[in-house]
Homo-oligomer: A and B are copies of this chain.
């Protein structure tokens, strides 16, 4: 495919993408396929000769789409949102074309420098303490990781390196293994200090945890993967109070801040981080690496390679503006409260955790079995899609506001549908009980 065919096919693909997202409401949110559906539909080996673009795009509708769970459907209320916005997609096209691998400043200066500045922009939106920002001086700073798991692992390895060095300095007779045996990582039942857990979006109180970590010389990593985006709104910022005690902090703009996956934002206070990953072969050295002016991000992450992901942040932040992003967060929170209000009006149901952001945990008053049957009937009907969670051994349904295009009408339709399904499972339960009685 040459540039001129790409011009043509690229524009067709732009229309396909726009058609897909404009029409997504008409597609069944959860697919009908059974495991192994795809293999028989495509050849067992790659073709020897080139095929046409037409043949491939036809197969997208015939083979791929029937097996897609439509995460951006306004009837998708499962897991947590994954971001999707047009500005991010445009930036991703540019990112793909530039196609640089930003492991060092020299490998593409713009890639490194825009990342540093975008992480400062975002840090300021969140009102992070100065110590987390790169600023002019270059103390502390942010880095884009692929996922929150990677950010947590990076924080853990950095913490381990730091404490190992401290212990080795204090007791040179200790072996590496003896030190390892002494190390303790403290975590709650939802892992590391978390703001907005996956199960029920609960919050650890950093003002309680933070001072203890500080006093005991513990590395405090704070994960706000989902909830972090909300902290750009002043009315939710208090949930982040105490972050000044943290050594590292991260959240995922790729969840709720309209920056398409992957973009997990991580900040560290000091450059303790880089010691754990330092990699300096001759072929990666460049003349500015020790200037103190720039960041070689390969020392800040597990992989060597990295894409130009800050372009997505730049496009999204500028095309929405902070006010646009705040409005987006607020709309989702309003919709979750609207759903909460609907649930509270129906005495057959109960709300299972305080609704703070965009997640509502609810269930039918009654047994786990009853609620499992409810979820099963909802997800079998495939009009909407939900997943459950377990809260203190109770089987609970999660209703997460996810799609960029979800409106009050979708939430109301979803609730009516849930009520219908509930009536059916309650009737079935009633009949079962009656049978047992007879």
Interchain CB contact under 8 A, B108 and A389: no
**Contact A7 to B1, CB < 8 A, known contacts A48-B323, A101-B79:** no
How far does the Cβ of A361 sit from chain B's closest Cβ, in whole Å? 11
How far does the Cβ of A24 sit from chain B's closest Cβ, in whole Å? 9
List of B residues within 8 angstroms of A85 by Cβ: 1
Binding site for B on A (CB under 8 A): 1-7, 9-11, 13-18, 20-22, 31, 33-39, 42, 44-51, 53, 55-56, 60, 63-72, 79, 82-90, 92-94, 96-101, 105-111, 113-114, 116-117, 120-122, 124-125, 136, 146-150, 153, 175-178, 180-181, 198-199, 254, 260-262, 281-284, 288, 291, 293-294, 302-305, 307, 311, 314-315, 317-324, 387-390, 395, 398
- The listed residue (B93, B116, B260) touching A17 by CB distance below 8 A is B93
List of B residues within 8 angstroms of A65 by Cβ: 110
Interchain CB contact under 8 A, A10 and B18: yes
Interchain CB contact under 8 A, B262 and A305: yes
Copies in the complex: 2
Interchain CB contact under 8 A, B3 and A7: no
Secondary structure at the A interface, as helix, strand, loop or mixed, is helix
How far does the Cβ of A358 sit from chain B's closest Cβ, in whole Å? 15
How far does the Cβ of A257 sit from chain B's closest Cβ, in whole Å? 11
- The listed residue (B6, B44, B90, B92) touching A18 by CB distance below 8 A is B6
19 contacts between A and B (CB under 8 A): A6-B17, A11-B11, A14-B14, A36-B294, A38-B109, A39-B136, A46-B322, A47-B322, A48-B322, A51-B318, A53-B87, A63-B110, A64-B311, A68-B109, A71-B98, A146-B305, A149-B304, A261-B305, A283-B389
**Contact A37 to B113, CB < 8 A, known contacts A89-B6, A317-B46:** yes
How far does the Cβ of A427 sit from chain B's closest Cβ, in whole Å? 23
Interchain CB contact under 8 A, B89 and A10: yes
Interchain CB contact under 8 A, A72 and B89: no
**Contact A14 to B56, CB < 8 A, known contacts A38-B117, A294-B36:** no
Please give me the residue from chain B that is nearest to A385 by CB atom.
B106
Interchain CB contact under 8 A, A281 and B94: no
How far does the Cβ of A323 sit from chain B's closest Cβ, in whole Å? 5
List of B residues within 8 angstroms of A82 by Cβ: 99-101, 305
List of B residues within 8 angstroms of A148 by Cβ: 304
How far does the Cβ of A213 sit from chain B's closest Cβ, in whole Å? 24
CA distance A101 to B398 in the complex (A): 18
Interchain CB contact under 8 A, B13 and A7: no
CA distance A314 to B63 in the complex (A): 12
Interchain CB contact under 8 A, B51 and A199: no
Interchain CB contact under 8 A, A49 and B321: yes
CA distance A220 to B46 in the complex (A): 28
Interchain CB contact under 8 A, B64 and A110: yes
List of B residues within 8 angstroms of A282 by Cβ: 199, 387-390, 395
How far does the Cβ of A344 sit from chain B's closest Cβ, in whole Å? 23
Interchain CB contact under 8 A, A53 and B319: yes
- The listed residue (B1, B109, B122, B395) touching A69 by CB distance below 8 A is B109
List of B residues within 8 angstroms of A125 by Cβ: 45-46
Q: Which of A11, A55, A125, A178 has the most CB of B within 10 A?
A: A11
Interchain CB contact under 8 A, B56 and A315: yes
List of B residues within 8 angstroms of A180 by Cβ: 177, 180
List of B residues within 8 angstroms of A72 by Cβ: 99
CA distance A2 to B109 in the complex (A): 32
How far does the Cβ of A405 sit from chain B's closest Cβ, in whole Å? 10
Please give me the residue from chain B that is nearest to A93 by CB atom.
B13
How far does the Cβ of A277 sit from chain B's closest Cβ, in whole Å? 10
Interchain CB contact under 8 A, B303 and A149: yes
Interchain CB contact under 8 A, B153 and A113: no
Q: Which of A85, A108, A120, A122 has the most CB of B within 10 A?
A: A108
Please give me the residue from chain B that is nearest to A179 by CB atom.
B177
List of B residues within 8 angstroms of A71 by Cβ: 98-101, 108
Interchain CB contact under 8 A, A93 and B94: no
CA distance A101 to B56 in the complex (A): 22
**Contact A35 to B105, CB < 8 A, known contacts A93-B93, A99-B71, A99-B82:** yes
